[in-house]
Amino acid sequence: QVQLVESGGGLVQAGGSLRLSCAASGRTFSSYTMGWFRQAPGKEREFVVAVRRSGGTTSYLDSVKGRFTISRDNAKNTVYLEMNSLKPEDTAVYYCAARSLGAADYDYWGQGTQVTVSS
């Protein structure tokens, strides 16, 4: 079992920045693909970006390209999402998720952290 705990969410003005952190339990963290998702009320959950076991990243959600950056620190069992130039439309609950080796989909999820961007 993997436990994921997000932190760093909050209220920020448009144009501001936040850095989300996701701390993972387990000694096999380096074997997981780690992803960030977000969901606004009444909307479908959407994939933001993921970082692979190798450290390489997937493509970013089009609406966040050039503004968000994912990274991981395997020594700290932590994945980050740096968010810059935030827009009100970025307001959502952000979730950290892990996909274990061989899994077809993400199989572990954090509780989510609220990000609110004011106009």
pLDDT of 10 above 90: yes
pLDDT interval class at 95 (50, 70, 90): very high
Structure confidence by residue, pLDDT tens digits, 33-92: 999 999 999 999 999 999 998 889 999 999 999 999 999 999 999 999 999 999 999 999
Q: What are the start-end ranges of the E strands in the chain?
A: 4-7, 10-13, 18-24, 33-39, 46-51, 68-73, 78-83, 92-99, 108-109, 113-118
